[in-house]
Structure 1
Amino acid sequence: MKIGHPLAEVFGFPPDNFSDMAERYRINRLCPYNNKVPSCTKDKALDPLGVCSVTTGEDIAITCPIRFRQDWLVIEDAAKFFFKQGVSWTSLQEIKLKDANGISAGNIDFVLAAYDEQDRIIDFGSLEIQSVYISGNIRMPFHYYMEDRKNRSNMTWTQTNVRPDYLSSSRKRLVPQMIYKGSILKSWNKKQVVALHKPFFETIPNLPVVEPEQADIAWMIYELNLDKTLNQYNIEHIQTVYTCFEHALEKIVTPAPGPINDFIDTLQKKLDEKLNNQPDAPALNDIINC
């Protein structure tokens, strides 16, 4: 359904959901999706930006990584890739990863660790959750809505242009994570999972696919589906793409080159502009050589 503002979910619920539960989460600024604390802490702990996902007309984009934690399906799905059935395992959050020089390569969102009967770790895999950056000011329509929710749930918002920025999300977050953290994990022969929303995955180049048994990285793709009876979105795992780490990384970091003639045309235009706009005053070299 097309709406005239960018808010798809506010504190876990569509803006026009005024059930007792939805209002309780908004009034108390709570997170329904297993944040590390009961409250939403996005952007600012004392003034959280409680927007889980945004809409650009009919499409929705998940903008908060915590949104993927609904019912902990993402953890369960990752474990199925990492471990055989019947293995004891648990998940550990925000684990710092260091390189050979002791320099931090960043924190891993989740490490799933399998352990034996003596509680000793026997295997592990990493799970990175990729939400999308936002271009434009989302806090303004969020505050405007929160001030008068029932009268503004179907508002038309034109003051700021809010949209998901998939390109920056890939270049500034996904690619660096794969290069630094992913390369270390690959050197240890440990499997990796990247969880992301379907619209985000669709902006990534087509990846060379392998059989699940051959894969060392799995791309787990999720979608938000609206329960019209409850007027609430539920996350659903819709596809897993299995790849080899090196081939996937090479495909993602290597841009598709455009025609060289287009670049030459650009150079020619710049050269023509420069030559046709030479200053009338003599150059310094001309003065010195006189």
Structure 2
Amino acid sequence: MKSVSPRYGIAEWYGKDITSLTNHERQSLGLIAIKQEGGETQQAIPICPFLSNLIPGALCNKAGGVCSIRKIGTPDGTIGTIVPGDAVVTVCPSRFLQTLEDGATLFSWISEKMLDLANPTVVKETPFLRKISESQRDVETELDMQQEAVEEGKKAGRIDWILVDPKTISSPELSWCAVETQALYFSGGNMRVEFSAYASAPTEVLFPIGKRRPDYRSSGPKRLAPQLDVKVPVLRNWGKKVVVVIDRYFFANMNNLIDAYPRAKNEQEKRDNADVVWFVVDYAEDLKMKRYKVVYTSLESSRHALNATEPLSKTDFTNALRQVINSNNRQNKVFKASE
């Protein structure tokens, strides 16, 4: 039998390791995922075990319920087997809210590093940008419109999470930091084909039907980088830091992040000199989330790291251009301006 290359498939579904589910549970989740992805609201949507750490009883709000993906191989072209040692890829931002391996929460870890306290007040989805109007509005009207924007989900921009030192809430100056959680998109085959396959009958873990891959370019340079370009300069002027939470797979696809202050004697000095602080998490074998790395850096270094590309040399570019022009297989790319 011809060997088949591993493909990315479901790692965690509605907060559960797909390999730990029974055949009937996988079928049941397939049926739920199809309905949820189709926009149907139903009481059967499972509780999100990660978001529920903050909002008790919170239901999964991601269509299809896929929390993370990973490479899955196959011995026979049908049944899937996990590829050992390969990175798990986070595709839902709520996934980052799992309690860490030592019992701490993501936000307590961040707060200990950024605010020197373990129990911050956590604020979700705070509006950061507003649309500029051609007409003048009084403050009351402006506040009313901002509230409408929040309620309607039509904000021009927002900060995912803000961690606040509760002791400063009544003070003239709040002590806080901003937190952005960045999951990865994927490109290629839609997950609906997987949902349908599992929904059709009770089954073991299946070899993925669709071919897909994590899309770092869409998630990093195209989405996260512009957000940092807008938010970091403003917050830097306010004397506030921006934290970005990513997983190990995302981190591995970036260029190197340069320390904001290489000569720093301690983390306090690193933090004081940083614009952006990257908190990187990873998955243990049992898919429990764990600490991986903290990097204190600048906005400029973050831009460079997210780009993860560099220009070819003039020689390399010229040689590649000659190959395209001289190739017999590139007629659809090489033309004459006139006969």
TM-score (norm 1): 0.77
Q: How far apart are residue 132 of structure 1 and its match?
A: 0.3
Partner of 1:144: 197
Residue of structure 2 in register with 1:34 after alignment: 51
Which of 150, 160, 165 matches 1:114? 165
Residue in structure 2 matching 1:234, options 269, 288, 295: 288
Conserved 8 A contact 1:5-1:154: no
Aligned to 1:247: 301
> Partner amino acid for 1:80?
E
CA distance 1:155–1:100, shift in 2 (3 Å): closer
* Corresponding pairs, count: 260
Deviation at 1:7?
1.0
Structure 2 contact 13–66 (Cα < 8 Å) conserved: yes
Aligned-residue offset at 1:253 = 4.3
Cα distance change, pair 247–5 in 1 and its aligned pair in 2 (3 A): closer
| Paired amino acid for 1:184 | V
Tell me the equivalent position of 1:283.
Answer: none
Matched, 1:54 2:110: no
* Gapped regions of structure 1 (runs ≥ 5): 43-47, 228-232, 280-290
Greater strand share, structure number: 1
How far off its partner does 1:264 sit?
A: 2.2
- Aligned with 1:156: secondary structure? coil
CA gap 1:252/1:164 in 2 versus in 1, 3 angstroms: closer
SS in 1 for 2:219: helix
Deviations 1:204-246 (CA, angstroms, capped at 9, x unpaired): 110111343233322111111133xxxxx21111211121333
Q: 2:19 aligns with which of 11, 16, 19?
A: 16
Is residue 131–residue 156 contact of structure 2 (8 Å, CA) maintained in 1?
A: no
Q: Partner of 2:124 in structure 1?
A: 93
Call closer, same or farther: CA 1:99–1:147 in 2, change over 3 Å: same
Deviations 1:83-104 (A, max 9, x none): 1237x63010000112795896
Change (3 A) 1:266 1:184: same
Selected match of 2:237 from 165, 170, 187: 187
Assess, with a 3 A threshold, how the Cα gap between structure 1 residues 101 and 124 changes in structure 2: closer, same or farther.
Answer: farther
Note the alpha carbon deviations across 1:36-89, whole angstroms, 9 max, x for none.
6622111xxxxx311101112333211000000113722111111221237x63
8 Å CA contact 1:95–1:108 kept in 2: the answer is yes
Q: Once superposed, what is the RMSD of the aligned Cα atoms?
A: 3.1
SS in structure 1 opposite 2:50?
A: coil
Percent identical pairs in the alignment equals 26
Q: Which stretch of structure 1 is more off in the superposition, 165-174 or 258-267?
A: 258-267
- The 1:11–1:169 alpha-carbon spacing in structure 2 relative to 1, beyond 3 Å, is same
Alpha-carbon offset, residue 3 of structure 1: 7.3
Q: Secondary structure at the match of 1:76?
A: helix
Matches within 5 A, 1:68-217: 68-71=96-99, 73-85=105-117, 89-98=120-129, 106-116=157-167, 119-120=170-171, 122-136=174-188, 137-148=190-201, 150-151=202-203, 153-158=204-209, 160-209=210-259, 210=261, 211=264, 212=267, 213-215=269-271, 216=274, 217=276
For the residue of structure 2 that corresponds to 1:6, the secondary structure is: strand
Give, in whole Å, the separation in 1 of the partners of 2:169 and 2:218.
Answer: 45
